[in-house]
Structures are given as structure tokens and as C-alpha cells.
Structure 1
Amino acid sequence: MATERAGMKQQFLDNSARYEALKTEVTHTLEKALESIENVKIHSVTARVKSVESFLEKVERKDYADPFKQSEDLVGIRIVCLFLTDLPKLKELLARTFDVISEEDKVNRGDASSFGYMSHHYICRLSAAHSGPRYDDIKAIKFEVQARTVLMDAWANISHHLAYKNEESIPVDLVRDFHALSGLLYVADRQFETLNRDAAHSAARAEKEVLKSADIQDSAINSDTVRALLQRQYPDRKHANEETVSEFISELPWIDLSDLRDLAKILRDNHRAALEYEKQYPPGLDGRGSFADIGLARAALAIYSPEYAAQKYSSVDTSHAEFRNR
């Protein structure tokens, strides 16, 4: 047995360069594919080659007759996304990108209240698109892809840290708490999904009421309505992301501005002056840049309000003042 174990260990070490090459190729291919998928927010993509100690332990535990053929996770990739509805989209992406040999759904086919973590597991090989001498040594090796949400990943990491490998190993007085916590995280995942869906509806409603209506009816200032207003006021400019819009909204109380229609009027009335400011003080190191929508909006507010200009820029900056009466 010791001789057989030593032989497996040496064979694994001899193949380690191939496993590392496969990990690099799969990670690169997957990251490129993820760039093309829409409406999926990826938290992280990680990859690892199984350690030789972990490989030998699994071979003994599973009593593999042909270890290198039966081991399907020598290379492992983990995709962590934000929402449950991202998981089916990742499934479709994997099917387009690799040859998926088998899959196991531990989310919809598992028990949410039982011990253990939930995720989607896929056993894959490189597809026919990976052809040529570069792939000859790695294209036959299977690898595993796990897809899970952030909360699933958190539960997996915490339960792994607690070192309970299965439900039978949990102390009896802790079983109920483990079940409750696992179920709680599952419910939280569902609630995040609902929140994400409601947020999308809110954005669509703001776009309809602010961007596409003849007159602005909604007076509420929030991320959705302000983004729609900026798109309406500056349709030809680069539009800011959610984080930048939120930062902009946090600046509006400096001038006691809490009504969307008031903000729209300020931006509209000071638009020409903001364009003249941009022409005289263009952004960028080469002096040839142009403002995104938020940049023009901030220029308009600074021209309109000395208080805003002093808060946002500095009390000694008088560049906006010369445009105030134009």
C-alpha cells in the first residue's frame, strides 16, 4: 500500500505542470466568457489545483480503482455570483464555453434546511475550440466548476472552518442551530433576489416617468430618478455608474436640494454656462477631455450655488463664479 501510495504521489507531481496549465487556460477562457454575459454580477472567480495530500486522502476515502481517471476535480474553479437567478445564466454560459460532462444541482434538488452548502457543480473538459499543440497535454483532463451565490459561499466557508464534514459529526445540541442557520441563509438569498427584482422595476419605472415623459412628475430624489434625469439632460454624454450617482446625491443636501424637479430646473437653466465652463476648463491632463453627465451636472450646480462650489471644490476656487451671471 505504501509503495502504491508513493507511486500515485509521484505520478501526481509529474503531472502538476499540466494541472497548472489547465487551471490557467480554464480561468482565462472563463473570464473572457463572463465579460460577454449581460445582467450577471460576478463577485469572484477563483481557481486551484488540488494538493497532492488532498488527492491521496480522497483516493483512499473513495477507494478509487483508477484514481487519475476517476478524480474529476484535480483542477477546480469557483464562480461566486450575487443572485440566485444568475445561476441558470452561468449554466448556459458553461455549456457554450466548455464540454459539460455532468452536473449536480445542490440548490434546487437539495434540502435547504439540511447541513452542508448548496451550489451547482459541473464536471467539464475543454471544448473542441481548444485545438492545437498547445492543448494536447490538457484537453483530456476533467475539471470541476462550482457556481454559487455569495451567501452560499459564506455558509460553505464557515461550515468548513467549523470542521463538521457531515451532519453525523455535529454535536446533537448544535444540529438544530445548524439547520436553522442554513435555512436562514437560503431565505436571505431568496429575499436578495426579490430586492434585486424590485430594484430593476424601480429603475424601469423611473426611466418611464423621468426619461420618457414630457414633463417630470416624480419629485423624489433617489438613485433611479437621478440617473434617469441625467440621461434625459445629457443624452450624448457618458453616464455615471451607481456608485458615482449615489455620491452625487449625497452632495445635494449641501444646498438644501431634495426635489427632483428643482434639480432638473437648475441643470437646465445652467446648462449653457456649464458647457462654456467645460470649454474653458476642460478635464484631462491634455486639456482636451469632456465631462461625463455627472461632471456637467456638478459644473452646473457649482455655477448656480457658491455654497456647493465651496463644499465640492474649495473656498478659494473662483473658476465657477465668472460664469454665474451668464
Structure 2
Amino acid sequence: MRSDTEELTRRFRALEGRHRDLCSEIAHSLSRVISSSGIKIHSISSRPKTLESFLGKVDRKKYSDPFAQCEDLAAARVVCLFMSDLDVIRDAIENTFEVLSRHDKIQDGDASSFGYMSQHYVCRLSGDHSGPRYDHITDLKFEIQVRTILMDAWANISHYLSYKNEDSIPRDVTRDFHALSGLLFVADRQFEALAAAAVRSAANAENDIVHSGVNVSEVNADTVSALLLKLFGDRDVGSVFDISDLVQEVRSFGYTDLRELAHDIEKGVPAALEEEAAFPPHALPGEEDDGRFSRVGMVRTSLVHVNPEYRTLMQDKWTEEGILEEGLAEGP
């Protein structure tokens, strides 16, 4: 016989702290293992189920043994960028936790169904999680949902519209609802293709400029990254955003041919090295300080010494940011 609401509430409250601790462990383990996989993700979140949600689910599902049958009292969600990341995250989950069941609503779902797409894993902590820290939570089950950022957007919007299942969709919007679901699925595939094309473009640029010595003229993020690898390969890479900012800067000053850009950079390198020796850069908090400019820093400092207009731009920029070096203030 099912417990009444008062008994369910009492038992739920007794388990609440354990489920909070379990959520913290799930999120920590997922962050660690996914970070080591090398892929970038949008977010990892975890939450213990609320009492209201639990009681509602018990009533809706007609559970006879609620605490055994409700498998998401503790749950985590991983939102990734691309569909190919789903396989990497699956391997990470299977190597980190004991997977009790897996339901793939992306590959196994009906294309004409409601369209709530994600991968669901019901797990327990594996034997690697042992010791006093885990003793009170090793017997608890939890759920992990994995979806792309577009799948997550779709799930959130449909939830906001209160369409929890197929039967709840008004007939006059059903066609548009399914069309939008399909559109987002196609968009996910196109983002995947775009990501693959971006990887190929970067590899081709590196091969042409660094390894094959091809005279490339186009100035874009991939060709500039490859040029910086060729010229300053032993220096800190920085971020892709640094490269994008640099490309925007140099193009605004008329550098539309990579060969011309390379010529001016190399011309300014001796002066940049002198400035680096006289006024070594200071690392930002959390960064390693090796007393040298990054690749982008070398480009900017080199161009400052050969292009007066660029010098004026960077002086204004660095003054505004409060990082103008004394050497630049005094002139080359």
C-alpha cells in the first residue's frame, strides 16, 4: 500500500540532506572527467528534487514504492555544444559511475513524437567512490540528462509553454510545434557540420602556412593563428577571442594581405624583444608569469613599432584599460 502524503513527506525530509550531498558529488565528478576529455561544454548543473515535484510525480505515475521507483531524487544535467560531444560524455559517464540504465531519446525516439530530446542515464556511484565521504550516499540512485544547447533551449521553451506531452498541444499549433522541433534538430546537425568545417579550415591553414610554406593572402582567424604559430610557436597561445580581436584590429588598419601583415610583424620583432626585456609583462591573476609577451602580444608590440596609426590605436586602448607600459608611453 502506498504511503500517505504525511509519511512520504517525513521520509523525503529525512533523505533530503543525503540527496544534496549526492548532487554535489555528481557535479564535481562530471566536471572533472569531462574537463579531462578535452571537449568544451555549455554547463553542468545538479539539483535535488523538491518535495512538491516529488509528490506530484508520485501521484502522476501512481508509484507503489515511490522511493525505489523515483530515480531522479538527485539529478544532474550536462548541456554540450555539439551532437558529437554526446558520445564523449557517454563514455565519461560510463567510466565514472555505475550505469544502471540508459535511455536515448535522441536516437531511439519517434521522429514524429513530441520532440523532447535528451539522453537519460540512471546511475549509482561506482566503487571508486569509497570512504567516509561517500558512505551515506553510495546506495542512492540518481539521473543524469545530457543534451545539446539547442535541445536544452527547446526543452525550456516547451516547458515554459506548459506543453508537457503530445496531448497537451492545441490542435491549431501542432503543425508549427513539430516543424520547429524538426528545425532545431536540423540546426543541431548543421552546427555539427560547421564545427567540423572550422576544424578542417584551421588544419588546412596550419599545413599551408607552417608546414608547406604556401603564400596565403587571406587574413582571418585561422590564417593569423597559423602565422602566429609559425613566428612565435614557443609562446603562450592565448584564447581564440584574442585572435579574433587581433584580426579585427589589423584589418581595420588595412592589413588585408597576410603576407604584408607578416612582413610588418617580422620587421618590428627586434624592437618588440627589446621592449619585452626592458618592460616584461605581468601575469593576470591565475595565469603563469613567464615574463614574456603572448603570441598576440608580440604581434601588437611589433606592429606598434612599425605602424604609427596602429601605435596610436593601441596606446588609446591600453591607456583605457590601465595597462599601458612605460616603454610604449615613451616611444620606440
- Band of TM-score, shorter chain: over 0.9
C-alpha RMSD of matched pairs (Å): 2.1
Which aligned segments of 4 or more residues in structure 1 are displaced greater than 4 angstroms?
285-288, 315-318, 320-324
- Percent identical pairs in the alignment equals 47
For the pair 1:305 / 2:307, whether they are aligned, the reply is yes
Q: 2 CA distance for matches of 1:174 and 1:56?
A: 31
Q: Secondary structure at the match of 1:160?
A: helix
Distance 1:323 1:47, change over 3 A: same
Q: 2 CA distance for matches of 1:4 and 1:314?
A: 70
Counterpart mapping for 1:20-99 below 5 A: 20-38=20-38, 40-99=39-98
* Equivalent pair of 2:219/2:258 in contact (CA under 8 Å): yes
* Equivalent pair of 1:254/1:308 in contact (CA under 8 Å): no
Report deviation, 1:240. 2.2
Q: Secondary structure at the match of 2:199?
A: helix
Report deviation, 1:253. 3.0
Q: Secondary structure at the match of 1:313?
A: helix
Q: 1 CA distance for matches of 2:89 and 2:283?
A: 41
Question: What's the CA shift string for 1:219-241, capped at 9, x where partnerless?
Answer: 00111110010010001100122
Partner of 2:6: 6
Question: What's the CA shift string for 1:127-170, capped at 9, x where partnerless?
Answer: 00011122111001000000000000000000000001111111
Counterpart mapping for 1:218-297 below 5 A: 218-284=216-282, 289-297=291-299
Q: Secondary structure at the match of 2:37?
A: coil
Report deviation, 1:205. 0.3
Report deviation, 1:119. 0.5
Amino acid at match of 1:242: V
Distance 1:321 1:158, change over 3 A: closer
Q: Secondary structure at the match of 1:137?
A: coil
Q: Secondary structure at the match of 1:133?
A: coil
Q: Which runs of 5+ in 2 are unaligned?
A: none
Partner of 2:164: 165
Q: 2 CA distance for matches of 1:321 and 1:35?
A: 41
Counterpart mapping for 1:134-149 below 5 A: 134-149=133-148
Partner of 1:314: 316
* Equivalent pair of 1:216/1:261 in contact (CA under 8 Å): no
* Equivalent pair of 2:2/2:65 in contact (CA under 8 Å): no
Report deviation, 1:320. 4.4
Report deviation, 1:6. 0.7
Report deviation, 1:114. 2.8
Q: 2 CA distance for matches of 1:274 and 1:58?
A: 66
Q: 1 CA distance for matches of 2:228 and 2:210?
A: 9
Report deviation, 1:172. 0.7
Distance 1:124 1:231, change over 3 A: same
* Equivalent pair of 2:99/2:123 in contact (CA under 8 Å): yes
Report deviation, 1:314. 3.2
TM-score by length of 2: 0.92
* Equivalent pair of 2:315/2:329 in contact (CA under 8 Å): no
Query: After alignment, is 255-264 or 197-206 more displaced?
Result: 255-264
Distance 1:66 1:43, change over 3 A: same
Report deviation, 1:77. 0.3
Q: 2 CA distance for matches of 1:160 and 1:235?
A: 49
Question: What's the CA shift string for 1:185-212, capped at 9, x where partnerless?
Answer: 0000000000001001001100100111
Question: What's the CA shift string for 1:99-129, capped at 9, x where partnerless?
Answer: 0110000111113443231000000100000
* Equivalent pair of 2:219/2:255 in contact (CA under 8 Å): no
